Each structure stands twice: as C-alpha cells, then as structure tokens.
C-alpha cells in the first residue's frame, strides 16, 4: 500500500526558545516517519513568509494527503494562511504543551494554533488539531485518520462505477441520483445495458469457462452436484462482468440481478458478484451490489478502501429482541473471505428460483463496521454503526449470519423504521468508525450513528 503523504510544515519564531522548538520538531519527525508516513518538508523550519512561499514551489506538494502545521512556537496566522491557501488537502494543526514553571513561556504553541484555527475557520478551510507531545499516539492516530480520509476522498473523486440496468420497481431505496453522486463524491457513473451483459456472457468461450471452473473447484467442493447449465451461466456472467469492468476501468458494479438473469440466462448472478467482490481470478476486488443499488456499491467501495479487504452488502431480515440479535442475509453474494473457516464453503441454488450459482456459508465471527450511504431524507447521509458477527449456524441459506450490535437491537429497529433507512447495509470486518466519521466530516456529509 502506498504510504500516506504529508506536507510537514514546522513553524518557529526566533524570539522564542529555538533549541527546544527544534528538538520538538526532530522528535515529531521521527514519530511520523516511524508511523509510516512520507513527509514533504522544508530543509529548515519555516520562520517567515518568504520561506513559506519558497516551500510552496515544491511540486511534490500537489499530491499530498494532508497539510500538517507543526506549531513549534507561537507565530501569527499569516504563515499558516499562506501555506494552506491553494491546497484542497485538509489541515492538521499540532501544538506542543510545555511545563508551567512560573518562568519564561518558552514556546506559546497553543496560542499559535488558536490564531491559525480562527483564520482557517473564517476562510472556510477544514482542519483538525492536536495538543500533545511528539510521541502522543492519539495525535498520530488522528493524523492518520484524516490523511486516510483525504486520500480516499481523492481516489473516490476519480472512481468509476458501473450501473447495469435499473433498480427493480418498488425498490426506491436503490435509486440512482447521478448528479448528486458526482457533486458529493466526485464519482463517475457508467451505464451498461443488461442486454450488453447477456450477449457478452453468451459469447464467453468454453475454454475460458473451463479455466474459471477449474479455479473455482479449488474453493467450492460441490460444483459437480449442481445443475451444470445454470452453473455455467453464472460463470459466464462472472467472465462477462470482469471483461466489462477491465475494459471500462470500473471500480465497482451495481447490478440489476433479477428477474432478467433468471429469465434470460437461466442462472443466478449472485455467485458471479461474490467472485468479483472477493477478487477471484487475481483481480482487484470489485465491490458489487444487487438490485442496482449504487449507494450500496459506494458504501462497499469506501469500506474496502478503508480496510483493504472486501465488504458485503446485505439485507437485515429478522430481529430477535429477546436475544438482542439480528439476522443478516443475502441470496449468496458475500465474498469468500467472509466465510466462517470452521464451516464448509459451498455453492448452492438461489432460494427462490432454485438455480445456481449462489455462495452458501455462514459469516465468520468477528467485530464489524456497519455503514450505509443513505438518501432516505432526500439528501446524502453517512449511517454508521458497530457490531459483532457471532459464532452461529447460518440462520438462512445463502450467505448469512447473526449480528449483535453495540446497542439494543430494539433501538436499532426503531432507527431503521422511523428514519426510513434503506433495506441494504454494508459490513466489513474491523473497526473503522473513526475513519468513516472523519471522511464524512471532510466532505460535509451528515452522520447518523446507529
């Protein structure tokens, strides 16, 4: 993974304790480099506006994820406003505490970021701050979260997602608002006709299908027991979607998976989307949502980039208030890596249509982050929550699991219904709440915490 790139701007005013300030700068640099950041920095601390302007001529600054102003001593806000004026990257202000000795105020660092924050607020520039010593791990974590949010905000602004067909009638929770997606996230949408996918799938060669089948046989041990014609149909859909995504340089797909894949090709699209979301066949994982749910795909892409692992878009299909649990389920499109390693990962038939290929396994236990780019209010919000997938037999066929949230399930159910939230949520293993909140704040997206 490419290191996060930070513009490190240490500020000093010569009327303060310069040797102490320089030692603080040295220590901060060491801890930032040890944390894995790449630093773009001046040769010496910035002491005046002329030095600041010289620093801005560095072309490497055009591609930074974060502007880190290290206020080693007090300085008025002119250097900060000059340094950040023409950058889109967010700003982090770092001040250093000093001992209350009853003697000289050696750094006056806090007052410096106070002035800087006031100036940035007036100019509408987004920033965060930290007040702590150079080895303060919480500040390093805050810097990482903001740099990560900035990094994938820039990545999303050049992302391309494919929408195949239109969402089924009556599923307005999967509505595509292309102008708003472009305005808020910068994402480009590529429209792909269902018939184009079908015709390409029918042209996939037997040799290619045999190759995909051989590789999939190493993961699923029961393919021989399934209906072979629809199984081949799903593998041809996988191959067709993979080709289209590579040709059009797509980062994710939202697919109208029913009824046409069943009525036109006689197979389920679920298994193909699982394979793509996992990165089967050596590709970069390509998040896929069913029912042409583009906001679900956006959510999965965000979670995937945050976690560097596949995400899963799922329905919330049942609640047990007594056990404080919820059942997650989808027909069979969860990525393989989400399978409980203690269970057998198999292929199966679609629960309603009775044809393959869907994936059939319980979700593996572990803590998960829950998210949804929601438009239930007519405007975008980021819905965020946490929970734990429990060790349990799958509650339903397909890819499913039992989830316990970090708050009462009855409270979640009230939020789901009274907020009118979408019927799809996305999950990824791990805790990425802080990064999601930082990203939402960065792009001025309201947050609904579950």
Residue keyed to tokens 């829950």:
370
Q: pLDDT tens across 117-167, in order? A: 999 999 989 899 999 999 999 999 999 999 999 998 999 999 999 999 999
Backbone angles phi, psi at 388, to 5 degrees: -140, 125
* Residue 41 burial by Cβ neighbours in a 10 Å radius (0-12, 13-18, 19+): buried
Residues 97-114 pLDDT 10s:
999 999 999 999 999 999
Of residues 98 and 62, more confidently modeled: 98
Share the mean pLDDT of the chain: 95
In this prediction, residues 394-403 reach a mean pLDDT of 96
What's the topology of domain 160-449? L-fucose Isomerase; Chain A, domain 2 (3.40.275)
Selection from 374, 371, 370 nearest residue 422 by Cα: 374
Give percent of the chain above pLDDT 90: 93
Give the Cα separation of 436 and 112 in Å (integer).
Answer: 29
Q: Long-range contacts made by residues 299-303, C-beta under 8 angstroms, separation at least 24?
A: 299/371, 299/372, 299/373, 299/425, 299/426, 300/252, 300/426, 301/156, 301/159, 301/161, 301/251, 301/252, 302/152, 302/156, 302/371, 302/373, 302/436, 302/439, 303/369, 303/371, 303/426, 303/427, 303/428, 303/432
pTM value?
Answer: 0.93
Q: Mind listing the pLDDT tens digit for each residue in 306-349?
A: 999 999 999 999 999 999 999 999 999 999 999 999 998 999 99
Model pLDDT, residue 423? 95
State residue 429's pLDDT score: 98
Local confidence band at 1 (pLDDT 50, 70, 90 cut-offs): low
- Report the chain's terminal Cα–Cα distance, integer Å: 31
- The pLDDT of residue 60 is 76
Per-residue pLDDT of 6-19, as tens digits, reads 999 999 999 999 99
**pLDDT at residue 234 tops 70:** yes
Instruction: Average the pLDDT over 242-247 and give the result.
Output: 98
Residue 296 contacts residue 313 (beta carbons within 8 Å): yes
Residue 422: predicted pLDDT = 97
What region, left, alpha or beta, does residue 332 occupy, with left being phi > 0 and alpha being psi -120 to 50 degrees?
Answer: left
Q: List the structure tokens of 302.
A: 């965000």
Query: How confident is the model at residue 387, as a pLDDT?
Result: 97
- Whether 85 has a pLDDT exceeding 90, the answer reads no
The closest alpha carbon to 67, from 152, 157, 146, belongs to 146
pLDDT at 193: 97
| Averaged pLDDT for residues 58-74 | 91
> Does position 47 have pLDDT exceeding 80, yes or no?
yes
107 burial (CB, 10 Å; 0-12 / 13-18 / 19+) is buried
The residues near 161 (Cβ < 8 Å, ≥ 6 apart) are 187, 188, 189, 190, 250, 251, 252, 253, 254, 294, 297, 298, 301
- At 225, is the secondary structure helix, strand, or coil? helix
Q: Is residue 378 pLDDT above 90, yes or no? A: yes
- Protein fold of 5-156: Rossmann fold (3.40.50)
Confidence (pLDDT) at 57: 85
Residue range 270-302, pLDDT digits in tens: 999 999 999 999 999 999 999 999 999 999 999
Which residues are within 8 A (CB) of 358 and not within 5 positions of it... i.e. 6 or more apart? Answer: 268, 270, 271, 274, 331, 332, 333, 347, 348, 349, 350, 351, 398, 399
Spell out the domain ranges in the chain.
5-156, 160-449
């Amino acid at each position: 993974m490419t290191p996060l790139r930070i513009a490190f701007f240490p500020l000093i005013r010569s009327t303060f304790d310069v040797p102490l300030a320089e030692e603080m700068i040295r220590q901060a640099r060491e801890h930032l480099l040890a944390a894995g950041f790449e630093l773009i920095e001046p040769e010496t601390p910035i002491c005046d506006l002329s030095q600041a302007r010289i620093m801005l001529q560095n072309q490497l600054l055009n591609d930074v994820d974060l502007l880190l102003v290290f206020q080693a001593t007090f300085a008025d806000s002119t250097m900060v406003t000059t340094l950040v004026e023409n950058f889109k990257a967010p700003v982090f202000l770092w001040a250093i505490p000093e001992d209350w000795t009853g003697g000289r105020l050696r750094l006056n660092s806090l007052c410096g970021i106070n002035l800087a924050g006031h100036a940035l607020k007036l100019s509408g520039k987004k920033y965060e701050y930290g007040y702590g010593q150079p080895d303060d791990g919480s500040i390093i974590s805050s810097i990482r979260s903001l740099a990560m949010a900035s990094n994938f905000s820039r990545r999303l602004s050049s992302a391309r997602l494919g929408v195949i067909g239109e969402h089924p009638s009556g599923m307005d929770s999967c509505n595509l608002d292309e102008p708003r997606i472009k305005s808020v996230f910068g994402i480009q949408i590529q429209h792909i006709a269902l018939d184009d996918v079908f015709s390409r799938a029918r042209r996939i060669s037997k040799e290619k299908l045999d190759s995909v089948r051989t590789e999939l046989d190493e993961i699923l041990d029961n393919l021989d027991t399934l209906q072979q014609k629809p199984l081949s149909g799903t593998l041809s859909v996988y191959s067709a979607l993979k080709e289209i995504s590579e040709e059009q340089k797509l980062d994710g797909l939202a697919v109208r998976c029913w009824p046409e894949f069943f009525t036109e090709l006689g197979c389920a699209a679920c298994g193909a989307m699982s394979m793509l979301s996992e990165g089967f066949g050596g590709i970069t994982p390509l998040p896929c949502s069913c029912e042409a749910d583009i906001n679900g795909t956006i959510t999965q892409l965000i979670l995937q980039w945050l976690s560097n692992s596949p995400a899963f878009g799922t329905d919330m299909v049942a609640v047990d208030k007594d056990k404080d649990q919820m059942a997650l389920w989808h027909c069979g499109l969860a990525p393989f890596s989400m399978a409980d390693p203690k269970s057998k990962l198999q292929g199966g038939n679609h629960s309603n249509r009775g044809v393959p290929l869907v994936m059939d396994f319980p979700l593996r236990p572990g803590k998960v982050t829950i998210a949804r780019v929601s438009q239930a209010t007519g405007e975008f919000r980021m819905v965020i929550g946490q929970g734990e997938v429990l060790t349990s037999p799958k509650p339903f066929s397909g890819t499913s699991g039992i989830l316990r949230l970090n708050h009462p399930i009855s409270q979640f159910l009230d939020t789901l219904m009274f907020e009118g939230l979408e019927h799809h949520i996305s999950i990824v293993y791990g805790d990425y709440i802080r990064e999601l909140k930082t990203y939402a704040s960065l792009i001025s997206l309201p947050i609904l915490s579950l």
